[in-house]
Amino acid sequence: MNITELAEDIIEFLNTAPGETWTDLDVGPTGYVEAEFGLDPNELFQRGKKSLWVIPWLTEYMMEESQGRTRKVNINRRPRIVVALSVPIAETDANRIDVGSKEAIIRVINLREDIEKAIITHKWALTLVDVESEPPETLPLNKRWFYVVTQFLFEGVTC
């Protein structure tokens, strides 16, 4: 399985996940946001609309050599998939303390967590070995936006 096939599997899974997967907001063609194939997380934010991109980021290669009289080299591929969520916060905070109302912030944080839990708990063709959740991006003042990136590292393919 190559990295783009894995990305497409994640997209299909997120867009067809059952309703109980989602706390407040759902993912899918008729949901709050639809998972799409993407390449550049910065372009995602520049679109200026809510988006969920699954990005085949890179593939790491790990080389292992055997010891002994016969030398054998194994090359293990480790695809890294990035899931980027970009959501405008439309509801403002009446006290102007934060980017949006408490309820709006809770909904987008829950959505991010639901997406991560769904990917982590699903049985993939490759083994998920690491998840790196990054904090929300710092954006210019007066931009009420929630923009986060989570990296998923898989392994299990030997060349």
Residue 95: band (very low, low, confident or very high) from pLDDT cuts 50, 70, 90: low
pLDDT digits (tens, 9 = 90+) for 37-67: 998 877 877 777 889 999 999 888 777 776 7
Name the residue with higher pLDDT: 94 or 76.
76
Domain 3-158 is found in CATH 3.30.2000.10: yes
- Show Cβ contacts of residue 21 under 8 Å, excluding neighbours closer than 6 positions: 27, 114, 118
Cα gap 132→83, rounded to integer Å: 10
pLDDT value at residue 42: 76
Cα gap 26→34, rounded to integer Å: 9
pLDDT higher than threshold 60 for residue 140: no
pLDDT value at residue 92: 64
Q: Which pTM was predicted?
A: 0.85
Name the residue with higher pLDDT: 65 or 94.
65
Give the residue from 140, 133, 43 showing the smallest Cα distance to 99: 140
Give yes or no for a contact between 50 and 86, defined as CB atoms under 8 angstroms apart.
Answer: yes
Q: Is 33 exposed, middle or buried (CB count within 10 Å of its CB: 0-12, 13-18, 19+)? A: buried
Mean pLDDT of the chain: 85
CA atoms within 13 A on the CB side of 128: 18
> How many Å from the N-terminal Cα to the C-terminal Cα in the chain?
11
pLDDT digits (tens, 9 = 90+) for 3-45: 999 999 999 999 999 999 999 999 999 999 999 999 887 787 7
Name the residue with higher pLDDT: 74 or 3.
3
pLDDT higher than threshold 80 for residue 75: no
pLDDT higher than threshold 90 for residue 122: yes
pLDDT higher than threshold 60 for residue 141: no
